[in-house]
Every structure is written in structure tokens, then in C-alpha cells.
Amino acid sequence: MYYSIDVCFMLKSNNKQGEETMIEMKVMGIALDVRTNSPIVVLHDLDNRKALPIWIGSAEASAIIRCIEGLIVARPMTHDLIANLIEKTGYKLEKIEINNVEKETYYATLFLIKDGEILEMDARPSDAIAIAMRCDAPIFVTANVLMNGSVSTDTAKDEEEAQEFKDFIQNIKPSDFEKLMKGKHEENDQ
């Protein structure tokens, strides 16, 4: 049986109840789906363990490639204009989140901050990524989205962790649960 690293992300979360675990990711590059000739933006986690491919449009792929390669155009393109608007209005792009996927459609949110007030804006992930790259803002993906759409980029490490998890399960004793529950009760009493 295989246990995905995504389970470990959820187990290690220190988020408050109801908050979803976020994994920071970076743009690995743009690929091309040879079957459909559609561009794909590929994100990877900071440990290079998971990659998340998202099919995007060619205009967005071009915008991301221009940013990756540091190409400057004579006149601002759409994503440059949006980044300029954010800056000129006194906002800062704090982060983007790719936070949902439904029927192979991904959803993202831009988080703009000004004077301590946060403004959330719905966006397509491709646009959000292109803007984040121009604003030097971090890209986060929910553990749920990553679990549903990512591919492993380090199968050897995945197999090692799966074996560690199997060993843990085989060696766990009822007294371990008692210690865990006692620790939970002590936390709740404080």
C-alpha cells in the first residue's frame, strides 16, 4: 500500500481548526501537452517533492515565460498593467492561493493588502501566477488541491516515507494513544 506525502502535510499542520494547510510553491516552468498543444504551467513545492501541472491559455503561458526569462516589452502587457495598478494604488500583493479544483478547473485568490486591510480577489490561477511573479509574491496551494492534482517528483523519498509510516503503524501500541489523549486534555485545560 502507498501513503502519499500529502498526508504528512496535513498531519504536520499547526493551523487553527477550519483553516486549510497551505503549501508554498514556485513556478518550475511551462510545458506543452503534446496531445492538445495546450500549454501547462508546472508548479513545484519548495522541497521539489511534488509538482502541480495546470493547463492554461497561450497568452498566460507567454506572460509567464516572459517573466521567467526576464524579457521586458516596450509597452506593458495585461499582467504588467495589473501589477502596476496594484502598486500605484498603494496595495501590495501579499500572496496568491490556488485553493480549489472542480471538474479539472482550478480556482485562485489574490490577496491584496493596504493599511492592514486585506482585499481578496477571485482569479484564474494562470493570471494569478503571472501577476504574482511580477509582484514577487508567494504562491500557495491548498493541501487538498495538491493532493488531487499533483504528481510526485521524488518517488524514492515517497517510498522511504511510506515504509517509515508502515513501520510506525506496525509498532504503535494502545498506550501511545493514551499518551496522545492525555496531552490533548492538558492542552484543553490551559
- The pLDDT tens digits of the residues spanning 113-126 come to 999 999 999 999 99
Residue 187 or residue 128, greater confidence: 128
pTM: 0.71
**Per-residue pLDDT tens over the stretch 11-63:** 333 445 556 789 999 999 998 888 888 999 999 988 888 888 999 999 999 99
DSSP for 7-65 reads HHHHHT--PPTTPPPEEEEEEEEEEEETTTTEEEEEEEETTS-EEEEEE--HHHHHHHH
Closest CA to 1 of 178, 177, 141, 163: 163
3-state secondary structure 65-132: HHHHHCCCCCCCCHHHHHHHHHHHCCCEEEEEEEEEEECCEEEEEEEEEECCEEEEEEECHHHHHHHH
Range in 73-87, 127-141, 163-177 the model is least confident about = 163-177
Q: Taking all residues of the chain, what is their mean pLDDT, rounded to a whole number?
A: 80
Residue 18's pLDDT is: 54
pLDDT tops 50 at residue 2: no
Which residues in 123-134 are b (16+ Cβ under 10 Å) and which e? bbbbbbbbbbbb
Percent of the chain with pLDDT over 90: 48
pLDDT in tens, 127-144: 999 999 999 999 999 988
pLDDT at 189 over 90: no
| Local confidence band at 149 (pLDDT 50, 70, 90 cut-offs) | low
pLDDT of residue 10: 32
Residue type, 104: E
